A = this chain, B = another copy of it.
Amino acid sequence: MNNPARRQRPTIHDVARVAGVSRGTVSRVLNGGHHVSPAAAEAVNAAIRRTGYVVNRHARSLITGRSGSAAFLLTEPQERFFEDPNFNVLLRGCTQALAAHDIPLLLMIAGSRDEQRRIVRYVTAGHVDGVLLVSSHTGDPVAAQLARAGTPVVACGKPMDPRAGRLAHVAADDREGAREMVRHLLSAGRRRIATIAGPQDTPGGVDRLAGYREVLAEAGLPFEETLVETGDYGRAGGRACAERLLARHPDVDALFVASDLMARGALEALGDAGRSVPGDVAVGGFDDSSAALASAPALTTVRQPWDRISQEMVRVLLDRIAGEDTSAVILPTELVVRETA
């Protein structure tokens, strides 16, 4: 009766008035409920329900200096990620894991130099509490700038740059995954095992190749440079690599390929060369993106636990925001045996 007709959203004042307590008490109930009598807490909660009050995050952020939100930042040539179905699993997993903590996720794509600048400014201005970073690049400049500004950052995948050793990250155990696959090939009786490695400026590429070499060595097989080709993770590249390998070593009986896309290309090359899979040549891939690339024959591959990776990324990020210093989490991969090996 004292107000104009227009109705505003209820504030903490309204709740306090309805509950018959002070703003401070309402605020305490909202943030953990310590030092509040049960009776007051109940009255406040009832008032919140009755008024339909919901906290104004802007006002809260203004005073606390924290935003209550996190960013999912993509700095890589984005195409590779947006084409990878596993990327979606990661993005969705992070979104939902954060949602469970009532933290909204901002999606940011740093393509151009200009976008990078804008994003760094936005983040370092404190409009985001932390950053989940996806970048397979060596020594990402954006990551460095954010880290320098003190923003909690958790990367997906092992950073290549040794200087970035302090960058928190969550990754699958590429090396052990590769080892498991090569052991699987060995146990199936294969002895001439070639590999199509990933780019050697990505940690995944390096570690998967390392795993391959180690297991061969442990099995007492000689390592031959000529059994190694290096591709670009893409389908066409995989095909070309396989063709070169076949030309050089017609006697190969197994192929460990560092990505499913390349493995698909290799399968095409093998088909063209008249080899049967897995009869003549066994093929093992990596990534388990095959679900989307599904076509016969079903690819045996190494699955990275993307759902768990996303959960751990969020956990580590929240830890870092809270001031704890969890640094690196390495998660086990899983060998998925299908038809090709």
Segment with Cβ contacts to B, from A95-103, A244-252, A320-328: A95-103
Bound CA span A107–B58, Å: 18
The answer to whether B107 and A95 have CB atoms under 8 Å apart is: yes
The answer to whether B104 and A92 have CB atoms under 8 Å apart is: no
B56, B85, B104: the one contacting A62 at CB < 8 Å is: B56
- Measured between beta carbons, the chain B residues less than 8 angstroms from A55 are 125
Q: Contact residues of A with B, CB < 8 Å?
A: 9, 54-59, 61-62, 67, 69, 72, 78, 82-83, 85, 87-89, 91-92, 95-96, 99, 102, 104-109, 111, 115, 118, 121-122, 124-127, 292-293, 295
The answer to whether A106 and B106 have CB atoms under 8 Å apart is: yes
The answer to whether A121 and B54 have CB atoms under 8 Å apart is: yes
Bound CA span A72–B78, Å: 19
25 cross-chain CB contacts under 8 A: A9-B125, A9-B126, A54-B122, A54-B125, A57-B125, A58-B58, A58-B59, A58-B61, A58-B127, A78-B92, A82-B85, A83-B85, A83-B88, A83-B292, A87-B88, A91-B107, A92-B109, A95-B107, A99-B115, A102-B118, A104-B108, A105-B106, A105-B107, A292-B292, A292-B293
